[in-house]
Amino acid sequence: MAIWQFDFYLLPASSVEQRFRAVPVTVSADEYDRVRWWEGINLRRAIEHDLSKMLSPHRSRSFAYVSDPEGFLRKLAESE
């Protein structure tokens, strides 16, 4: 495994703030496993909303390549 690979866990800010009243630097493994962080939260909507703030939605370049490889490569060559 490369040294830059790591694990991270997403927790809903509202649940963290409700439990701690402020966002802590860390959450213990025991507390992470014991608490139902996502209870009552529409997971798909919450993640899509939060991620869309950081990452703008775009069509995948790999999808374009698979559906029309020649057209994709031609556009790519024209853009260089």
Residue 53 included in any domain: yes
Residue 30: give the domain boundaries. 13-79
Residue 60 included in any domain: yes
Q: How confident is the model at residue 61 (pLDDT cuts 50, 70, 90)?
A: low
Q: How confident is the model at residue 8 (pLDDT cuts 50, 70, 90)?
A: confident
Residue 31 included in any domain: yes
What residue type is 52 in one-letter code? S
Residue 4 included in any domain: no
Contacts within 8 Å (CB) and 24+ apart, 14-20: 14/41, 15/39, 15/41
Residue 32 included in any domain: yes
The answer to whether 37 and 14 have CB atoms below 8 angstroms apart is no
Q: What angle do CA 46, 11, 60 make, to 5 degrees?
A: 55
The answer to whether 37 and 16 have CB atoms below 8 angstroms apart is yes
Task: Give the pLDDT score at 62.
Answer: 58
Average pLDDT (49-70) is 68
pLDDT for 34 beyond 70: yes
pLDDT for 33 beyond 90: yes
How many domains does one find in the chain? 1
Q: How far apart are CA 61 and CA 39, in angstroms?
A: 35
